[in-house]
A and B are shown apart, each in its own frame.
Chain A
Amino acid sequence: MQDNVLELTRVSKRYGAFTAVDDISFAIPRGAIYGFLGPNGAGKTTTIRMILDILKPDSGSINILGETSALNVRQRIGYLPEEKGLYKKMKVWAIISYFATLKGMDKRVAKARAFELLETYGLKDYAEAKVESLSKGMGQKVQVLSAVAHRPELVILDEPFSGLDPVNQEVLEQLIHDMAAAGQTVIFSTHIMQHAERLCDRMLLVAKGRKIFDGTIADARAIIPRRVILECQGDITPILQMDGILGAVEKSMEQSHAEPLSIGTRHWELQIQEHANPQLILQRCFESGIPLTRFDYTQPSLHDVFVHLVGSDAKEHHFR
């Protein structure tokens, strides 16, 4: 058994003068839940289409499940495209079973599987309904199910969470966890960091067609310094002199998004090094007699990492 289900080596794709994907390389190990992150227009969908051999890369090579083209192993892959749509006139179970049979599943097995999935993920009552009668969110769930009904080794979901309400987002997260537990590799793209944070073992961050980060969530968090948040009155100079403190920023009330502070209280964000111990900082506060009203030691969120890494580029793309 090989280690990586998917390897991209220096893959590029251009549309005329516009470079959609620029020299991207990465590998995805078997059994991982892999987040594919990036702002809108970063080249996520183009990359996914190239992985599936719907588009041909201009240069570079792709190895998927040991093959050079996804078409050779398409029965072992499940794919949910970014834009969602189903045959409106078909029944829910029939559409799941149809896509499963297209992936080589036996007709009767596929039908049983469709009902099983619908029951597990809360759509049992809609099995005989026509797709056109479903709400958008339900339709999307049906589409996710039809993409994974044939138990593919590799599942690629393009923006699976968009358009789902929080409850159904959780159902989908559960589905992804279930698949990972069954040994399936799941790749999903999103621009909502919370999902990646909760689900991913590893993540790939792209912007403007370039790879910006590839690694575990812990690696990503390590990119930007950890922070300690202090709220106190008076001077915090004794703390700034400590070893491992990179700097401090005082934030106004609006910036901190915190509850209104009492008069004279200031909000500080300390950036600390990896090895710095928050315990020692807290201890120094007591020793220096700083009157703390808040002491917070937080891991940087992926959101912060994302903004940090993509920065102004992302904004530019957003409003392009």
Chain B
Amino acid sequence: MKMIWLIAAREYTENVKTKGFWIGILLFPIILIAVFFFQTILAESAPTRHYILIDQSGQYAPAVEAAIRQEHQRRILQEFVAYVIEHRKEANPEQTVANADAQIDQLIDDVDAGEVAALDQWLDSGGLNFALTLATPYLREDAPPFVEPREQFIQAPLPEGVDASASPEEIIEQMRPWLSGGRQLRVDASDGSDGSDYEETSDLFALILIPAQVNNSILRPSATPLAMNQSAAGIQYWARNLTDVRLPNAIERSINSTIRNNEFAARGVDADIVREVQRTRLPVSRLDPSAEQGQEAVSVADQFRQWAPVGFVYLIFVSLMQSVQYLLSNTIEEKSNRIIEVLLASVTPLELMMGKLLGIGMSGITTIIAWLLSFLAFILFYPGNQAEALGQFLDVLLSSDLIPYFVFYYLAGYALYAGIFLAIGSLCNTLKEAQSLMMPMIMILMLPLATMTYIAQDPNGPVARIMSWIPLFTPFTMMNRAAAEPPLLDVIGTTVMLLLSIALVLWLSGKIFRQGVLRTGQPPRLMEIVRMLRQRH
């Protein structure tokens, strides 16, 4: 036993000294921080975009402008909620958050329902100023003033020499240098400090062209759909940037809302009544029968709990891959250096194998603990609404029994796969040789990853149940099902199967390892491996 510890301690300290180990440990928090900070920075640094609106029909310009205003107000509102959460007083957090959440939920709901009026209401009631007055009592005294985000979409004047009343084809032809980025727009830019205007140039982000006869292109349920070659009919949105769809989406929503209002009016329906009808709804309460009475409502936390196992499966996978790779390369190093012979003159092969399993296992656990700690530190030191959600996530984890499941299945999966990879390593003299023997194992390891989401959605379905009973998949699949209260038969049965297989794998690996480590030359054929397994020492 002492020898196992000595070997494990060396493996651990040597592994901890490698660059790869630290990259593995640091990568997770770096990615975590990068994702959140970049999100903030990107949101703040989004460039001002200039668009040109040509409304030949004379009917829809207000709707487009409303859509753009609405988009801006949405951003203000979102940032305002984040601001309130960050600077609220500690004493009464729930109320403020709840209020703000309710408001933004209502707004987003309304916008989704095509309800332009909702934003008008928000603006009518005083918009941001009103909200600030409302929220101020809940803010800390030292809170910085709220900085309104810049407008992202600004209308630019039509360049000189372009005739707004020409046919759409001509306009597009005239505008082509700007649309292709060959020429730049001259736009007014207000300097924030003294309010003086000066001219600067900017790329044209989008050209919105509403032809005079646009109403002829309105689609009605009775009409036959337009043929494909007439795809440019209706409102034309010209832009080179195909990824930023906020503007075209907002415009489409807004204009369709206006058209529908016109339609209501034309058919003699009171638009106000329609609006009220549209805002009428019956909520669907999502309830969980397994929860205690009075707690059945499915909360965000419950959803977290349902999906958390997927995260754990992924964590097991990543950490396992890292550990077995190290185990493999380390065994091959010892073999190719013939250090193994000195070691075997000092310790038994079994002690050597166990020492390695333990040492590398410990470094794997160290990595996971470091990840969890950095995750925790991140939540503690990065206050904001996203971290809020993460904090909730952490609460769920700590309060549920997922952690013990995770610890068990991580260790079990590690023992199972490390045993196999160690045997592979003992048979090979170079990493290259090992790669071909590893391939089938890697393929097998990919399967739980590929079915991860599917199993999370149907955790007690036939696929999940069958995979649970295959020992190589048990740690992943059962971890995945952990939150779904799988049948007791599955839990106990697969655990027994798993433990038996681990014992079997370690026993067989021990046999292969004992003979493999002293082998030289080509890796053995399958028949030779079978012979090794049969051999009695």
Contact = CB atoms under 8 A, between A and B. Distances in A.
Nearest to A78: B345
The size class of the interface chain A forms with chain B is 20 to 34
A102 B337 contact: no
Nearest to A52: B345
B326 to A, nearest CB: 13
Contact of B341 (A81, A102, A103): A81
A56 B344 CA distance: 13
A317 B17 CA distance: 45
Contact of B337 (A70, A74, A82, A86): A86
A54 B338 contact: no
Nearest to A83: B338
A79 B339 contact: no
A151 B208 CA distance: 89
Contacts of B31: none
B347 A54 contact: no
Contacts of B6: 98, 101-102
Given A79-B345, A89-B14, A102 B518 contact: no
A87 B342 contact: no
A55 interface: yes
A77 B345 contact: yes
Contacts, number: 60
Interface in A70-109: 70-71, 74, 77, 79-90, 98-99, 101-103
A71 B348 contact: yes
Given A54-B518, A86-B337, A86-B339, A102 B14 contact: no
Contacts of A56: 537
A79 B348 contact: no
A147 to B, nearest CB: 7
Interface string B506-537: 00000000000010000000000000000001
A99 B3 CA distance: 11
A90 B16 CA distance: 12
Contacts of B18: 89
A82 B345 CA distance: 13
A82 B342 CA distance: 10
A125 B14 CA distance: 22
B503 interface: no
Contacts of A55: 518
Given A71-B348, A102-B3, A54 B343 contact: no
A88 B17 CA distance: 13
Contacts of B17: 89
Contacts of A146: 342
28 contacts: A49-B341, A52-B345, A54-B341, A54-B344, A54-B345, A54-B518, A79-B342, A81-B342, A81-B345, A82-B338, A83-B338, A85-B336, A85-B337, A85-B339, A86-B337, A86-B339, A87-B333, A87-B339, A88-B337, A89-B14, A89-B18, A90-B14, A98-B10, A101-B6, A102-B7, A102-B343, A143-B342, A147-B342
Interface of B: 3, 6-7, 10, 14, 17-18, 333-334, 336-339, 341-348, 518, 537
